[in-house]
Amino acid sequence: MNDTARPAPGELTALVRAESAHPASTAARALVDAIRARFGDDLFGVLFYGSCRRSAAPEGLLDFYVVLDGTRSLGRFESALLVVLPPNVYYLECPLEGARVADARVRSKVTVVTRGAFRRGTSGRWFHSYLWGRFSQPTSIVWARDPAARQELEDALARATLTFLRRVLPLLASTFSAADLWTTGLGTSYRTELRSERAAKLARLYADEADYLDAVTRAGAAAAGFAMPVDGVFTNPLSPARRRLGWAAWRVRMVTGTLLSFLRILKSAWTFDGGLDYAVWKLERQSGRTIPIPPEVRARPWRHAPAFFWRLYREGVFR
């Protein structure tokens, strides 16, 4: 068994298991019921992550990742899209029972991937950080088909964390803290997508989850290739040549990941109502500037969206 296929250390897996059992909000539970109704017997597991996970009364779109063990709940064209360019993204909303406001609704972005793609994408065998970068962060398993499915998802989350630690190591100085590792790693992985997170937000994201992130860093250190910290400081054992190679790999991820993100946004026009508006809203929130959508882009996103987002990239809206 090569190094990238090894299971995560037991202590790391135990930390991930405990974190994944974090109770979901009332809004999230309502949406899980809607997700189960939408995908039926294909459903293998539902993961809840992102900023709304940390709030008892979340606002905005809740982020769910749905793992499918079949595609019967999808149309033929949607199934083909899921195979050719995963994942598929959908918008889902439902009423919130017991809310103080009449006709209150909760809304979500539901990202769909197959069980096999999720297993591969969270492992060290997968080059791009799209899955292992995302699911190295705190995540709740809010529904699983059965105990075996839950364990498989827990193992995948632990592998994602270990892969993240290994892949970020070449980016770090000869000595570093857990905060350095996570802010550097998350910032770099965001740059492989159409995302631009400022240093202050990265620092806040780390601070919000510092206890957990510090714990998984210590638990995965030896398996990831660096020693336990002395006074909170880790040592990077990689040679300059290994670090240069690691940096080169991340540059390739940035270039190819940006292209893949363009294609996913175009694809979302078929699966996600308001997908273009959502992408622009995310960029506005992250960059702090207003981004009007030209009429021709709204009318024909397949034709005009690539040039539109390329212009935003050139203007520094995202990096």
Asked if the model's pLDDT at residue 55 lies above 80, the reply is: no
Q: Above pLDDT 90, what percent of the chain?
A: 57
pLDDT at 315: 85
- Are residues 141 and 274 both part of a single domain? no
SS3 43: strand
> Is 319 contained in some domain?
no
Check: CB of residue 276 under 8 Å from CB of residue 301: yes
Distances (CA, A) of 287 to 56, 94, 193, 281, 293: 26, 30, 14, 10, 15
- Give backbone dihedrals phi and psi of 140, rounded to 5 degrees, phi first: -100, 135
Check: CB of residue 142 under 8 Å from CB of residue 32: yes
Residue 318: pLDDT band by 50, 70, 90 thresholds? low
Number of domains in the chain: 2
> Is 132 contained in some domain?
yes
What average pLDDT score do residues 205-224 get?
Answer: 94
Comparing CA positions, the residue from 268, 280, 121, 136 lying closest to residue 194 is 280
> Is 134 contained in some domain?
yes
SS (HEC) of 155-173: HHHHHHHHHHHHHHHHHCC
> 54: which DSSP letter?
G
Comparing CA positions, the residue from 117, 129, 61, 118 lying closest to residue 90 is 61
Domain stops at, among 202, 225, 243:
243
- Are residues 109 and 221 both part of a single domain? yes
- Are residues 102 and 10 both part of a single domain? yes
> Is 36 contained in some domain?
yes
Q: What is the CA radius of gyration of the chain?
A: 20
Comparing CA positions, the residue from 150, 122, 164 lying closest to residue 250 is 164
Higher pLDDT, 1 or 253: 253
Domain stops at, among 196, 227, 243:
243
Helix axes 210-224, 147-168, angle to 10 degrees: 80
- Are residues 231 and 308 both part of a single domain? no
- Are residues 48 and 73 both part of a single domain? yes
- Are residues 137 and 260 both part of a single domain? no
> Is 148 contained in some domain?
yes
Domain stops at, among 243, 263, 285:
243
Supply angle C-alpha 15, 246, 139, rounded to 5.
25
> Domain with 7 in it: what CATH number?
3.30.460.10
Please name the helix (run of DSSP H) or strand (run of DSSP E) that holds residue 246, with its range, or none.
helix 240-271
Check: CB of residue 63 under 8 Å from CB of residue 79: no
Domain that includes residue 255, residue range: 244-314
- Are residues 161 and 63 both part of a single domain? yes
How many C-beta neighbours within 10 Å does residue 137 have?
A: 22
Residue 4: pLDDT band by 50, 70, 90 thresholds? very low
Asked if the model's pLDDT at residue 117 lies above 80, the reply is: yes
* pLDDT tens sequence across 270-289: 676 666 776 777 677 667 78
Residue 47, beta-bridge partner list: 65, 141
Tokens linked to 74: 């999808």
* pLDDT tens sequence across 63-102: 999 999 999 999 888 899 899 889 998 888 888 875 544 4
Tokens linked to 209: 């989850």
pLDDT at 98: 57
> Is 52 contained in some domain?
yes
- Are residues 239 and 259 both part of a single domain? no
pTM of the predicted protein model:
0.84
